[in-house]
Structures are given as structure tokens and as C-alpha cells.
A and B are shown apart, each in its own frame.
Chain A
Amino acid sequence: MYRYDEFDARLVRERIVQFRDQIERRLDGRLAEDQFKPLRLMNGVYLQLHSYMLRVAIPYGELNARQLRALAHIARTFDRGYGHFTTRSNIQFHWPALIDVPRILEALAEVEMHAIQTSGNCIRNVTTDPYAGLAADEVEDPRPWAELIRQWSTFHPEFSFLPRKFKIAVIGAPKDRAAMRTHDVGLEVVRDLNGALGFRLFAGGGQGRTPYIGQEVSPFVPAASLFAYLTALLRVYNRHGRRDNIHKARIKILVQSLGIDRFREEVEAEFDALPKASLELPQGEAARIAAYFAPPPFETLSRPSDAFDRALFADPDFARWTRSNLKPHKQPGYAAVVVSLKPVGGVPGDATADQMDLVADLAERFSFAQARVAYDQNLILPHVKLDDAPALFRALADAGLATANSGLAGDIISCPGLDYCSLANARSIPVAQALSQRLSDPQFQSNVGPVRINISGCINACGHHHVAHIGVLGVDKQGEEFYQITLGGSPDETASIGTIVGKGLAGDAVAPAIERALHRYLDLRNEGELFIDTVRRLGTEPFKEAIYAVA
């Protein structure tokens, strides 16, 4: 993985010194809150419902064992013993004291981490495919490009005060495992007919109260021109994006109001006018960064693995877990392993300090000390030998981290909701917990197969409910929580926004209603047809009927 050079290290250290001083001035009254607030937000410190919240960047979701242990240490020492992994592959600590933040940032800097670009109207932490570098369908590893975008965007003076926040995702395969089309800018690494590397570029995706799927701005931006093109695009947004209305300030609104063709013309005109030489990557820089992401020293393994096959035969729980939580790896004899942060009845995305320490240990033992955070709020051990899978399974299972539900109904995405968040209108976690309990039967989940269920506690949609196959949105009606169900959304390369099926349900009615909808799917599906495809074939009506059926 990428290691800090002297510039990175200095930049992070200098920022801590600066922010420590700002906190001191806030505490002794020299800075008022309205002066301090934008400064703390630039350092990832939010004020939430009960306390401050610190959001720590995990650039493109990649972590090593040392970093995981540092996160565990922070959770234990400065928080309440856990952290919450988010849909943007960051981690949030929900209970830090402001006076402890400089020490937390010091602990992060020790392991080359920080809280920069996790808030404010800047280019945010870049995300990618959690299976980057190991997926067989990959054109090229997107992580070096994510890292280059990070370097280019961090403290970019021209793009530090955009009309609104700006999120970029980069994928390296035609299969979209990073919800790329829901981002302000989405990039897909592609090759042209001559084999030259470039990017298919999407813009204007976003969720919130006006959700849109990103539209293609360019089918091919040559790799050498990436930063010139991004600069042109961000200039157009910086110039024309609305600053008068926070609800209309994201680039998605600009793309919609201009139309994709006009928007493209504006970007192309800006691009043509740019002095490109200064924006081109220096010769050899892409290769230099790519070297950080070289594959680890894999063993040459003969397939199949005897240990793996014996465990499959002997242990049905292991066999079930391998079917859902082991993902294909291009290196023969290896797999990527999903460490489920979705135990039955648990809080989606939460990991205790002890669990983080354990995953760090297991990463060292079994996965070249590497781990990842996926956008679905799970952790991943990316490079595990099939021979080691049985031992890994037992270690994870002992710590409650081996729920066999990756990609299944129990793999619920949820924001923290009104239990923690000051923006939320309704609670998310209790609904996720009830649903996870209700759908806990592994046989049922296995019958239903892949289905994405997401819950947001307000229309800001941090739980990505718009692009869930089954989405749940919490709303507040005169102090009572209700939950709207959406159907037919999808976060992948066939991305779509779900449609609301009808009036909101009471909290305790959500889980039974969704269970009925899943049973209706089992009744209606064609042989081998996935849930989302049945919804697309039949429309929402039969499912709506099931959702509102009186039990």
C-alpha cells in the first residue's frame, strides 16, 4: 500500500499543530464558534446529537494492521470502545472530547492517517472497489489513480471552497462495486482499441433529497489528461454551481439544469483553454505510485486446497460462510474474505476495539497485514490462502465476525440515524436490528440470494437507501417515526434510483413488511432470477401489495 513521503508526513504534522492551536484559541475564547466551526470541520470534527464526532479518512478504504490497531487504540482510549465504518469507507468515532482531538490526530499521524477531507466543501476522501488489485475482471488496479487523485486534491487551493462537498470514486472494472455512479464524479479505468489507458468519466451522481445517477461526460479521458480534465470540470462547477441554496449546490443540480450535453460542452471548452503541460503527470509518476500497490508475494499454489475441501465437507457452517463471504481472487489458491460487521441483531458497520485488534492480528497472519473497508460497511481481508480459510473462519467466528451474509439480506447498510446524528429525523439502527433478527435464518437468506437492503435516518441518504434494492427512509411526522420503503434501486453498473411504494410504516412494521416482500419474490421469481431483476421485470406493484398486506 501507499506509504507517506516526507511531504505527506509534514503536511499531516503541520495540520495537527495548526488545529491544536485553533482548539486552544477556541477554548480560551479567542475564537468564537462561528469562526471555529469551519476550522474544526476541515479537520473532521462534527458536533452531533450527544457529543462531537470525529470522522477519520481511510483513503480508498485501504488499511494495514498497524493502522487498524491505532484505530482500536483510539476507540479504547478516547472513545467508548468502538468505531463505526461508513458507506464512504471512513471510520467515525462518536464520543471524542474536543480537548482530546489533538492527541487522537497524533495517534493517527503515527500510522499515516488523518481526518483531512472528511468534511467541508472540498474534494472528499476518494473511494474505490474494495476488490481492487485482486478482481479477475479488472482492466487495471484503480488504487494508484485514487492515490494520485488524493495527492492532487488534498488542500488544493482552488478547490477548497467549492459550492458544496465533492465526492470521487474510481473503479478499475466494468462491474461497479463502489457505487461509482452515485458520486459527484465517477471514474472507470478503461483501455481504448489501441490499449491506451484512460477513464470513462461520469458526473452528477448523488443521493440526498434529489437523487441522480451519474451521467457519462466522456467515454475516454486519456490517462495523461486526467488532472487537466478534472480541473476543467471542477472549474465549471466552481463557477456555475449554486452557492445561494445549499439544497441546490451539488454538481448533480448543475448537470441537471444545464443538461449533460451543455455541461460537457462547458467542460470541454474549459479543458481546451487550459495550459495542460502544468497539469500533466510528470513522466514516470504513475508508475512510481503504482509500485506501492504491487501485489504481495503470493505463493504459487496448486488448486484445489485439500484443507479447504476437507473443511467444506466437515463443517456446514464453514461451507455456508465460504459461499457468501469468500470472493474470487485472481491469484490461484487465494480468496478475498469479507469480515462481516453485520452480526444478527447488531449495528451495521460497528466494530469494537477488540474486534479491530483481532482483524489486525488475522490480517498479519493470513493477508499480508492488509485489510480494507468496503462501501457496504464490512471489512475485507484481501489476500487469504484457501488453505488458511478454515482457521480464519474459526478465529472470526469466535469474535462474532463470521456471519455468513455478505451480499445477502442480513448485510444491511445503515447510517447511525437519530440515535447519534443531529441531522436525522428517525432512528435507523433499531430498524436495522429488527430486520436483521427477522431475516436471520441463514437458509432463508441463502434462498433469497443477493439483495441489497439499506436504511437512512433522513433524506440526506447516508445509508444509500435510494440505490438499495429495498430502501428504508426514516421520516418524522409530528414526533413519530415512520419509514418509507423504496424498491428497485441499484448501486452497481446498472444503477437506478428506487421508487417509493407508498405511505410510511411504523418502525415495528418495517421488518415484517420487508420479509413479506422477499417471500413474494420467492413466489414470483423465474429460475435463477435475482431479486432486483424480478422487481425490474414485474414492477413494484406485486411487492407493494405484499408490503401493505395485513399479516
Chain B
Amino acid sequence: MKVLTANRLTDGAVVWLGDHDVWTLDFDSAALLDAATAEGALAVAEDDAGLLVAPYLVEVDAQASVEKRERLRETIRAGGPTAGHSLRSD
């Protein structure tokens, strides 16, 4: 399974494609997509240049947990920095 992610064009915020084609800031609300749906959704996102930047698919397992190689990066991307001044003002 896959989830589709991107950054919001205006401010760079990390977003995921949720149910009903609505983009969400919450990883837990990301829609689990099968391979064919995922590719289609990615193509649509790549076309939506006025809203999104750098869309891509992330491989996840059935529990929406990110797989091996990308796990660390995508976990931090979803959860925010684990250290630094950003934590204080979040």
C-alpha cells in the first residue's frame, strides 16, 4: 500500500492525501492507496501545480506504517523535528 504526500505550495507544510481527495496535515488521516490508485493520484497531484509542490508516494504496510529504508525520514517528516528550537514554539 502507499500514501501520497507533498508540500503545500504557499508555505511548504507537509500534507497527505486523505479520503475523498482532501489533503490533510495529519499523517494519521492519510488514505491508504493501492498501487493503481496511488499512481493515478500522483499524476493528478503533479498536475495540480498551483497547490502542491514535490508530490511523491511512500510505501507503507497495511497498518500505514512506513517501510524500512524510508521509515526514519518519513516518520520525522510526519511528526516534525525531534530536536531543536522548533520544538519550543510548536
Which chain B residues border A429 with CB–CB below 8 Å?
A: 81, 83-84
Quote the shortest CB–CB distance from B16 to chain A (angstroms): 13
Determine whether A155 belongs to the interface, using a CB cutoff of 8 Å to chain B.
no
B10 near A99: Cβ-Cβ < 8 Å: yes
B83 near A98: Cβ-Cβ < 8 Å: no
Number of CB contacts from chain A to chain B under 8 A: 96
Which chain A residues border B13 with CB–CB below 8 Å?
A: 50-51
Q: A29-B50, A97-B10 are in contact. Are A420 and B72 (CB under 8 A)?
A: no
A480 near B84: Cβ-Cβ < 8 Å: no
Determine whether B80 belongs to the interface, using a CB cutoff of 8 Å to chain A.
yes
Q: How far is the CA of A49 from the CA of B72 in the complex (A)?
A: 12
Q: How far is the CA of A225 from the CA of B49 in the complex (A)?
A: 48
Among candidates B68, B71, B82, B86, residue contacting A95 with C-beta atoms closer than 8 Å: B86
Residue among B50, B84, B90 with max Cβ neighbours from chain A (10 Å):
B84
A47 near B7: Cβ-Cβ < 8 Å: yes
Chain B interface residue count, Cβ-Cβ cutoff 8 angstroms: 30
- In the complex, residue of chain B having the shortest beta-carbon distance to the beta carbon of A75: B85
Residue among B11, B71, B86 with max Cβ neighbours from chain A (10 Å):
B86
Among candidates A47, A50, A426, residue contacting B80 with C-beta atoms closer than 8 Å: A50
B70 near A479: Cβ-Cβ < 8 Å: yes
Quote the shortest CB–CB distance from B49 to chain A (angstroms): 5
Seen from chain A, the residues whose Cβ lies within 8 Å of a Cβ on chain B are 26-29, 32-33, 47-52, 80-82, 94-99, 347, 350, 352, 416, 418-420, 426-427, 429-430, 433, 476, 478-481
Q: How far is the CA of A27 from the CA of B53 in the complex (A)?
A: 11
Which chain A residues border B54 with CB–CB below 8 Å?
A: 33, 47
Quote the shortest CB–CB distance from A256 to chain B (angstroms): 31
Q: A47-B54, A50-B12, A476-B69 are in contact. Are A420 and B81 (CB under 8 A)?
A: yes
Determine whether B76 belongs to the interface, using a CB cutoff of 8 Å to chain A.
yes
- In the complex, residue of chain A having the shortest beta-carbon distance to the beta carbon of B54: A47
Which chain B residues border A430 with CB–CB below 8 Å?
A: 82-83
B82 near A427: Cβ-Cβ < 8 Å: yes
Q: How far is the CA of A95 from the CA of B84 in the complex (A)?
A: 13
Q: A27-B50, A419-B76, A481-B72 are in contact. Are A98 and B85 (CB under 8 A)?
A: no
Which chain B residues border A420 with CB–CB below 8 Å?
A: 81, 84, 86
Which chain A residues border B71 with CB–CB below 8 Å?
A: 479
Which chain B residues border A80 with CB–CB below 8 Å?
A: 85-86, 89-90
A98 near B11: Cβ-Cβ < 8 Å: yes
A49 near B11: Cβ-Cβ < 8 Å: no
Q: How far is the CA of A99 from the CA of B80 in the complex (A)?
A: 21
Quote the shortest CB–CB distance from A55 to chain B (angstroms): 14
Going nearest first, the 8 A-B pairs with the smallest beta carbon separation are A97-B11, A479-B71, A51-B12, A419-B81, A52-B12, A29-B50, A82-B85, A429-B83
Quote the shortest CB–CB distance from A119 to chain B (angstroms): 16
Seen from chain B, the residues whose Cβ lies within 8 Å of a Cβ on chain A are 7, 9-14, 49-50, 53-54, 67-73, 76-77, 80-86, 88-90
Q: A32-B49, A51-B13, A481-B72 are in contact. Are A419 and B83 (CB under 8 A)?
A: yes
A418 near B84: Cβ-Cβ < 8 Å: no
Which chain B residues border A29 with CB–CB below 8 Å?
A: 49-50
Q: How far is the CA of A82 from the CA of B88 in the complex (A)?
A: 11
Which chain A residues border B89 with CB–CB below 8 Å?
A: 80-81
Quote the shortest CB–CB distance from B78 to chain A (angstroms): 10
Which chain B residues border A47 with CB–CB below 8 Å?
A: 7, 12, 53-54
B12 near A81: Cβ-Cβ < 8 Å: no
Residue among B67, B77, B85 with max Cβ neighbours from chain A (10 Å):
B85
- In the complex, residue of chain B having the shortest beta-carbon distance to the beta carbon of A81: B89
Quote the shortest CB–CB distance from B66 to chain A (angstroms): 8
Which chain B residues border A426 with CB–CB below 8 Å?
A: 72
Quote the shortest CB–CB distance from B76 to chain A (angstroms): 6
A479 near B82: Cβ-Cβ < 8 Å: no
Which chain A residues border B7 with CB–CB below 8 Å?
A: 47, 51-52
Q: How far is the CA of A43 from the CA of B60 in the complex (A)?
A: 35
A33 near B49: Cβ-Cβ < 8 Å: yes
A427 near B10: Cβ-Cβ < 8 Å: no
Q: How far is the CA of A29 from the CA of B46 in the complex (A)?
A: 12
B76 near A418: Cβ-Cβ < 8 Å: yes
Interchain residue pairs with CB less than 8 A apart (22): A29-B49, A47-B7, A47-B12, A49-B14, A50-B80, A51-B11, A51-B14, A52-B11, A80-B86, A80-B89, A95-B86, A97-B10, A98-B9, A99-B10, A99-B11, A347-B85, A352-B85, A416-B84, A419-B82, A419-B83, A426-B72, A427-B76
